[in-house]
Structures are given as structure tokens and as C-alpha cells.
Amino acid sequence: MKKIKTDFAPQFRADKKRSGLQLMETFFQFNELDVSKERLSNIMNYAVKRNSWINEDPAVIFEFYRSMRLFIRAGYLMMLKDRKWTVDTRPEKISSWVLGLLSEKEYRNPLLVFKKAFREYTLKEFDYFMSGIVYFSMGVYENLPERNIVMPYIHLIRMLDAAHLILQRKREKKVADTNSE
């Protein structure tokens, strides 16, 4: 009998069929922005707590972990293909309520968030961060994560905001183009 080895590691290919933007759209079809940010915060909170673990179904956490890995790779692809259409050139002052964790410059050009994140951390480091917080949130462990896990977390929250903003602007542009025809 022939042994079949199953590879559970997701394959990442930067092919021409799937762009970073398409991967982001896929991510947000299955994960809402506020739910994703809340779930990431919960995982992070339980990862740094001693003597407690997250109460959610492990399958849900694992699926979220896999979708966040896809999201991170999509952000990396988007950063590589710098698009200028995401830039907001309106001169008006932006309310701090709208900005969230983004600076005004990042709100106008959300790709800066991805560039800054991937300048500080590699894909491998983001993967390590995600697997670490999921691991530590799923059980009670003596040791805490050995690295600073706050900065990758902040970068991920900001990337979620920036990606949602890019997709929102894409939809608005599409609606404006159909209305002008």
C-alpha cells in the first residue's frame, strides 16, 4: 500500500491569477473588520494571561489563524504592487474618529501601513507571531512568549484598518464610475 503524506501548510504562490487585492476581498468576505479585530484582540489577551485559555472553539481559532496568514500574504503582495489609486488627495482635514490607529498620511495612502509593517517584520516573523499567540491562547503554559508581541499585533490591527479602507475606496470608485457612464 502506498503512503500518502498530507501537507497541511498553506501554499503561497504570488501568481498572476490572484492579486493581493483579490485575496483581501476574499478575507473580508468571510471575516468582518470589527469581528476580526476583536478576535485578534481576544487571542492576544489570552496569549499573555497566565492560567487561562480562550473559550472559543479551537476550530474557529485555527480557521481564523489560517485566514490571518492569508491576509498577511495579501498585504505583502499589495505592498509589492504599489497602486496609486488608493491615495486620497482631498485637501480637507480628516476627523480623528475616522482615522482610528492610522495617521492622516496613512489614511490618505493606506499602502504606507503595509510598507512600514513589512519593513520592520518579515512574513516569517508575522507567521511566528500568529502561531505563537494562537499557541499560548489555547492552553495554560508556564512560559510567556519570549519576544515582544505587542508591535506585530499593532501592525496587524493597522493593516486590517488599511485593507478595509482600500477595499472601501475601490467600491466607491466602482460606484462613481458606473454613475458617470
Residue 159 burial (C-beta neighbours within 10 Å; 0-12, 13-18, 19+): buried
Q: What whole-number distance in Å separates Cα of residue 169 and Cα of residue 88?
A: 9
Where residue 145 falls (left for φ over 0; alpha for ψ -120 to 50; beta otherwise) is beta
pLDDT digits (tens), the chain, 181 positions: 566 655 545 444 444 446 888 999 999 999 999 999 999 999 998 888 877 788 888 899 999 999 999 999 999 998 887 665 556 656 566 665 566 788 888 888 899 999 999 999 999 999 999 998 898 888 877 666 666 788 999 999 999 999 999 998 888 888 877 777 6
Question: What pTM was computed for the model?
Answer: 0.81
Kindly state the DSSP code that residue 86 receives in the 8-state scheme. T
Q: What whole-number distance in Å separates Cα of residue 109 and Cα of residue 86?
A: 6
Q: What whole-number distance in Å separates Cα of residue 168 and Cα of residue 145?
A: 35
* Residue 119: closest CA among 88, 83, 151, 90: 151
